[in-house]
Amino acid sequence: MSVIRSRPPAPRKVNLARTGTPLEPLPRTSAALGVEVLVKRDDLTGAELTGNKVRKLEFLLAEAEDQGADTVITCGGEQSNHCRATALAAARRGLRCRLVLRTDDPAQPPAATGNILLDKLAGATIRWISRPDWARRNPIMEEEAAAVRAAGGVPYVIPEGGSNATGSWGYVAAAAELADDLATLPARPTTVIYACGSGGTGAGLIVGAKLHGLPARLAGVNVCDDRAYFVDAIGRIAADLIARWALPVTVGPDDIDIVDGHVGRGYAKSRPEELITIRDLCRRDGLVLDPVYTGKAFHGVVTELARDRGRFGERVVFVHTGGVFGLFPAAAELAPLLG
């Protein structure tokens, strides 16, 4: 892949994330799977701001501030990493935060554990909605924005996962880091694998790979929906990114590789075998994944390699997008596997 030497100007960002994050080997996991496995430690972007969402929020909150916003509004599942990161990043920037969170029974919301605890600690206002109402999440966030305006405030709405053209700049930058990381290693067929939940990370990586000459294939393991959904979602975000900033690349459906078939019981619902993969990786190499995103995606990698050891080439680079706080609500499910 050719490198575009002149890097296009990115939009303004605020400094929230600890980057660049290290690329580390997983020696015992590599031996067990029969392929070199390394991990891009985006779980180390911070303590409270751990994970991939903070890279996106650097650009999104800069845009919010440039528009004069005093309140940010976003949405996610009850244990959303994105919502937790948004609440904490907003507090750091002196902004108010409203969250729209999906749960089984809004009349009896879940206990304040994991990310919910941190949402509340950061002072976020939470509006609980049902799974059926999730289809209306964007109009519901607009209702929250209208309430902010009625009170004299200025809202800024961030889409699910921070996944839009502005937010995806965070992973354009991460692709540049990965290109530099891989330049220090022996050349060999490599696949960079990421958990795919809303599409912004994938869009940024794919565009960034083209801009920065990342010498690797990119593949997303979807943790919800299906391949067709993410080919469309990532394609739309990438097209908007390219058009808005007149970037000298193109992205088509053939550029978007989705490793489907590993959603299991559904979004944020774990199978025992997925939790065993989390346990085994931690015991082999001391790396902690989460049950919603990285654990499900890495289990997909393990499953695919068991079927075909050459599935991803000679080297796998797994992008650890964070999520450690999501482990704590899963303690009861994990307990029988830890003896």
Which residues are the active-site residues?
80
Residues pairing with 229 in the sheet: none
**Counting every residue, how long is the chain?**
339
Contacts of 31 (CB under 8 A, 6+ apart): none
How large is the greatest C-alpha to C-alpha distance in the chain, in angstroms? 60
Rounded to an integer, what is the distance from CA 118 to the centroid of its chain?
A: 18
Calpha distance 275→334 (Å, rounded): 7
Nearest residue to 56 (alpha-carbon basis) of 279, 282, 241, 239: 241
Calpha distance 150→294 (Å, rounded): 40
Contacts of 90 (CB under 8 A, 6+ apart): 61, 72, 96, 97, 122, 124
The C-alpha angle with vertex 130 and arms to 125 and 136, in degrees rounded to 5, equals: 85
